[in-house]
């Protein structure tokens, strides 16, 4: 979803009474896929793993003063897939190190425990990709870490089969990921935020290792680790519309929703007024959930398009998420990739699953609305709404059509930024190649990320193997920095998604450790 897809109005009322919503649907309870009741929104602490905790026999913690073979920044699905790929490679008899020893690996994660989109674990929410695109199946269907093996280990394989679906509940898939992570938790420094990745001894010849500096989220204590290879998979950072106040207790991002809604509006009978901003799947799901959870609420969906658009997940279109599509897209020109990503947006951004659109259509849609301002008013917020005219591209709105909404809560389902790696690598900018002069630049890293140094403009770019391209001779072949989840501009729409995790992680492990 675009960070600025915040305009048009869809309300949860049953009558077209200006912008006021009427009666919403009655809230329903939801059961977890193992039969345990799950709170509508607060699923952060749900206990879904029924099996006994195990640890990988091949990857063990190393002393923190070690020189690690690999340090991964972040421990979300992308880094977890790396751990799984390393485990599977060793289990299959591959030597990742020349002497046959097991690699020293460290993961550093800001969260206090493994969690995947905990703010969007809503009742009834389904995955939007097949469970076959898990952490392992497309690379090795015999892996211990397939979704089917998870079901088998939880004594749920037959029950899941009876559902006749490729799309598991989102809460169950998150539990699958946490089950996988439990094998590697002892390799993770939870509760630490990485601040920088710096080259070691760059003045003494080609860099042979990097120093990762982190900060303990609780104590603010600084810590450092050294590694030959560093993989940055920091995930997305919530993107908020510029018109919104920087901080306000009644303005939240969709990534926080399930974790905080019960605290912000404790009583489900409260006649609250909630505005959801956005046009994609997350916005539609939250709008639907608020309307159900708070039957006395007046709930509005504000978005730029005139109407909700269905996602295109037809078989031909879905080939853009195939692992081999990366090989087709990467060699193309920056202009081609830019045009392609714009054309293919309907597969992933600002779109909603058709069945949810059909459910929401039973409520009133009021089109073409635009937020012009949002101001705090004591414990509430005042939003000014105007119609978007045909000349909206000229910035014109009709002041005569202005309406005002008083809201108790504003939820911005406005997407994510994926550029944390740029600042994180600042100490390594001088090792980057010079940026080509007068080149045609695009957003989303399609032609890399230009950075300004004392020696002039440099460019962060990655190769087909996701390795950062440092200037020749500055970093040895036995060391490097790798990026995951921020390479959509060069590697396609699947880069930020789950679709290619199994194959991509195998490729990266092979590139880092080679064949011995």
**For 239-282, how does the pLDDT look when each residue is reduced to its tens digit (9 = 90+)?**
998 888 878 899 999 999 999 999 999 999 999 999 998 888 99
Q: Distance (Å, rounded) from C-alpha 445 to C-alpha 496?
A: 13
Residue 363 binned pLDDT confidence (cut-offs 50, 70, 90): low
- Say whether pLDDT at 105 is over 70: yes
In Å, what is the CA distance from 281 to each residue of 120, 135, 217, 490?
A: 11, 23, 31, 24
Q: What is the pLDDT of residue 45?
A: 38
Give the pair of three-digit tokens for residue 336.
């081609």
Q: For the ranges 125-129, 153-157, 174-178, 344-348, which has the lowest average pLDDT? A: 344-348
pLDDT tens digits along 492-509: 887 888 999 999 999 999
Q: What is the pLDDT of residue 42?
A: 36
Residue 57 binned pLDDT confidence (cut-offs 50, 70, 90): very high
Contacts of 104 (CB under 8 A, 6+ apart): 62, 66, 67, 68, 69, 70
**CA 262 remoteness from chain centre:** 23
Give 102's DSSP letter. Answer: P
Residues of the chain with CATH 3.50.50.60: 9-27+238-311+348-416, 67-235+438-513
Q: What is the pLDDT of residue 30?
A: 31
In Å, what is the CA distance from 416 to each residue of 203, 236, 325?
A: 37, 5, 24
- Give the number of other CB atoms < 10 A from CB of residue 512: 23
- Fold (CATH) for 9-27+238-311+348-416: FAD/NAD(P)-binding domain (3.50.50)
Nearest alpha carbon to residue 430 among 194, 203, 196? 203
Q: What is the pLDDT of residue 26?
A: 29
273 by DSSP, 3-state: which?
A: strand
Q: What is the pLDDT of residue 330?
A: 72
Q: State the average pLDDT over residues 348-364.
A: 73
Q: What is the pLDDT of residue 53?
A: 66
341 or 231: which leads in pLDDT:
231
Q: State the average pLDDT over residues 298-306.
A: 83
- Say whether pLDDT at 3 is over 90: no
Is the distance from CB of 479 to CB of 209 less than 8 angstroms?
yes
The CATH class for the domain spanning 67-235+438-513 reads alpha beta
Q: For the ranges 52-61, 174-183, 223-232, 376-385, which has the lowest average pLDDT? A: 376-385
Burial tier of 12 (Cβ tally within 10 Å: 0-12, 13-18, 19+): buried
Q: What is the pLDDT of residue 445?
A: 61
Q: What is the pLDDT of residue 48?
A: 42
Give the pair of three-digit tokens for residue 284.
């539609």
Beta strand segments in 136-272, E = 188-190, 192-199, 210-216, 222-232, 237-238, 251-253
Residue 18 binned pLDDT confidence (cut-offs 50, 70, 90): very low
Where residue 107 falls (left for φ over 0; alpha for ψ -120 to 50; beta otherwise) is beta
pLDDT tens digits along 386-431: 776 543 433 444 455 677 888 999 999 999 999 999 999 999 999 9
The pTM (predicted TM-score) of the whole model is 0.84
pLDDT tens digits along 180-230: 999 999 999 999 999 999 999 867 889 999 999 999 999 999 999 999 999
Q: For the ranges 37-41, 298-302, 350-354, which has the lowest average pLDDT? A: 37-41
pLDDT tens digits along 114-125: 999 999 999 989
- Say whether pLDDT at 311 is over 90: no
């Amino acid at each position: 979803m675009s960070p600025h897809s915040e305009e048009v109005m869809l309300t949860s009322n049953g009558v077209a009474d200006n912008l006021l919503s009427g009666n919403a649907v009655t809230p329903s309870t939801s059961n977890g896929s193992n039969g345990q009741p799950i709170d509508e929104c607060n699923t952060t602490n749900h206990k879904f793993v029924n099996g006994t905790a195990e640890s990988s026999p091949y990857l063990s913690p190393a002393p923190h003063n070690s020189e690690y073979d690999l340090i991964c920044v972040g421990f979300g699905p992308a880094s977890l897939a790396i751990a799984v790929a390393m485990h599977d490679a060793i289990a299959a008899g591959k030597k990742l190190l020349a002497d046959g020893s097991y690699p020293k690996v460290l993961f550093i994660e800001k969260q206090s425990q493994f969690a995947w989109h905990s703010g969007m674990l809503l009742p009834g929410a389904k995955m939007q990709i097949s469970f076959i695109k898990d952490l392992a199946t497309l690379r090795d269907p015999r892996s211990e870490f397939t979704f089917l093996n998870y079901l088998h280990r939880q004594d749920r394989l037959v029950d899941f089969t009876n559902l006749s679906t490729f799309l598991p509940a989102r809460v169950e898939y998150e539990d699958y990921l946490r089950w996988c992570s439990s094998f590697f938790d002892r390799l993770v420094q939870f509760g630490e935020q990485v601040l920088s990745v710096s080259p070691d001894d760059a003045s003494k010849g080609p860099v042979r290792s990097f120093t990762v500096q982190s900060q303990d989220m609780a104590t603010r204590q600084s810590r450092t680790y050294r590694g030959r290879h560093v993989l940055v998979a920091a995930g997305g950072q919530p993107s908020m519309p510029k018109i919104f106040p920087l901080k306000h207790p009644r303005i939240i991002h969709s990534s926080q929703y399930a974790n905080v809604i019960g605290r912000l509006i404790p009583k489900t009978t409260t006649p609250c007024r909630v505005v959801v901003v956005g046009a994609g799947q997350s916005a539609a799901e939250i709008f639907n959930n608020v309307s159900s959870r708070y039957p006395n609420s007046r709930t509005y969906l504000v978005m730029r398009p005139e109407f909700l658009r269905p996602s295109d997940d037809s078989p031909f279109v879905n080939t853009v998420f195939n692992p081999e599509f990366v090989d087709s897209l990467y060699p193309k020109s920056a202009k081609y990739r830019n045009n392609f990503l714009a054309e293919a947006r309907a597969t992933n951004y600002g779109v909603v699953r058709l069945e949810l659109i059909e459910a929401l259509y039973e409520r009133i849609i009021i089109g073409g609305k635009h937020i012009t301002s949002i101001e705090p008013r004591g414990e509430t917020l005042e939003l000014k709404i105007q119609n978007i005219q045909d000349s909206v591209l000229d910035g014109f709105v009709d002041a005569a059509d202005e309406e005002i909404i008083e809201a108790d809560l504003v939820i911005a389902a406005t997407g994510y930024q994926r550029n944390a790696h740029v600042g994180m690598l600042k100490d390594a900018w001088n090792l980057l190649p010079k940026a080509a002069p007068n080149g045609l630049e695009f957003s989303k890293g399609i032609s890399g990320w230009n950075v300004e140094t004392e020696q002039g403009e440099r460019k962060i770019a990655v190769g087909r193997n996701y390795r950062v391209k440092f200037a020749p001779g500055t970093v040895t072949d036995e060391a490097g920095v790798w990026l995951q989840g921020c390479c959509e501009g060069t590697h396609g729409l699947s880069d930020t998604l789950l679709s290619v995790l199994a194959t991509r992680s195998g490729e990266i492990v092979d590139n880092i450790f080679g064949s011995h």
